[in-house]
Amino acid sequence: MPFDTAISKITAIAGLFLLELVARQSYFAAMKTAFSHVTHWVFDLDNTLYPPEAALFDQIEVKMTEYVMRELKVDEQRASYLREHYWQTYGTTLSGMMREHDVDPLPYLNEVHEIDLDHLTKDIALRGHIQDLPGRKIVYTNGSKFHADRVLEARGLDGIFDAVYGIEHSDFHPKPSRPAYQVIVDTDGIETTRAAMFEDDPRNLEVPHDMGMKTVLVGAPAPRDYIHHQTEDLTAFLSQIVR
């Protein structure tokens, strides 16, 4: 290859590299700006602070079905249908069981969350990025606090959150209902226009958006006008905010 051709090729490659570098820098700057007002960081727990491949719900659902079978004296097929039906209709199976069958929530919550977490791994990088977020860090789950504390410990995320709220703290109102968020917002003193919510269930982001929060879907894309950002890699996403 003639010398001047080689030089022009190198120049072109260097130009492309520079362009990509500038594009990356402006993307990171835009990401930082998008979250620069945030002082309250609210994280869902299940399938948000651990990967869905951990399949904890597979275990929880078996326990829920057993509970419904025993409590309502129905067979497995009917219990499985009701578990799903109540989840769809009321946000959680528990909510349906409370509303339609007057079930006592605490024994239910304890039983369905007695699951094996041995396969969960600690995530040091995620821990570091959450710690680096400026402001108050909160976990808010439709599960119980007992479950949240166990999972956080198994993931190596214990001790870095300022508060951990379970469904027992929202008067057993589940996300996505507005009263659920309202109780947590009031309890914690969250200024919603300065808060961000991270969730794997798209429907749980609509009310936070309406309340003025920045919304981040942690999971596969689900185009909704109330979702501001989407990522399938929470650790990488947070690294762009705190870098």
Return the residue of 69, 145, 200, 202 that touches Mg ion, per CB under 5 A: 200
Which amino acid does the sequence have at 8? S
In terms of DSSP bridges, do strands 195-199 and 214-218 run parallel, antiparallel, or are they unpaired?
parallel
Task: Report the site for Mg ion in 62-121 (rule: CB under 5 A).
Answer: none
Q: Which lies closer to Mg ion via its Cβ, residue 28 or residue 57? A: 57
As measured in angstroms, the least distance from the Cβ of 91 to Mg ion is 11
Task: Classify 167 as helix, strand or coil.
Answer: helix
The one segment of 65-73, 99-107, 147-155, 193-201 that binds Mg ion by CB under 5 A = 193-201
Task: Report the site for Mg ion in 126-185 (rule: CB under 5 A).
Answer: none
Task: Classify 1 as helix, strand or coil.
Answer: coil
Helix axis angle, 76-90 to 56-72, nearest 10°? 110
As measured in angstroms, the least distance from the Cβ of 120 to Mg ion is 15
CA–CA separation, 67 and 79 (whole Å): 8
Taking alpha carbons only, the member of 40, 38, 36 closest to residue 187 is: 40
Q: How many residues bind Mg ion (CB under 5 A)?
A: 4
Q: Which lies closer to Mg ion via its Cβ, residue 44 or residue 188? A: 44
Taking alpha carbons only, the member of 101, 97, 125 closest to residue 109 is: 97
Task: Report the site for Mg ion in 13-52 (rule: CB under 5 A).
Answer: 44, 46-47
Q: Which lies closer to Mg ion via its Cβ, residue 47 or residue 69? A: 47
As measured in angstroms, the least distance from the Cβ of 99 to Mg ion is 21
Helix axis angle, 76-90 to 93-101, nearest 10°? 100
Closest residue to Mg ion using C-beta atoms:
46
The one segment of 108-116, 147-155, 160-168, 197-205 that binds Mg ion by CB under 5 A = 197-205
Q: Which lies closer to Mg ion via its Cβ, residue 188 or residue 200? A: 200
Output the CA–CA distances (angstroms, integers) from residue 43 to 2, 8, 49, 89, 165, in the order listed: 58, 50, 8, 23, 10
Q: Which lies closer to Mg ion via its Cβ, residue 26 or residue 89? A: 89
As measured in angstroms, the least distance from the Cβ of 23 to Mg ion is 33
For 230, list phi and psi in degrees, rounded to 5. -140, 140
As measured in angstroms, the least distance from the Cβ of 139 to Mg ion is 11
Output the CA–CA distances (angstroms, integers) from residue 145 to 7, 20, 32, 113, in the order listed: 63, 44, 31, 10
Output the CA–CA distances (angstroms, integers) from residue 140 to 16, 20, 90, 103, 166, in the order listed: 44, 38, 17, 23, 6
* Contact footprint for Mg ion (CB under 5 A): 44, 46-47, 200
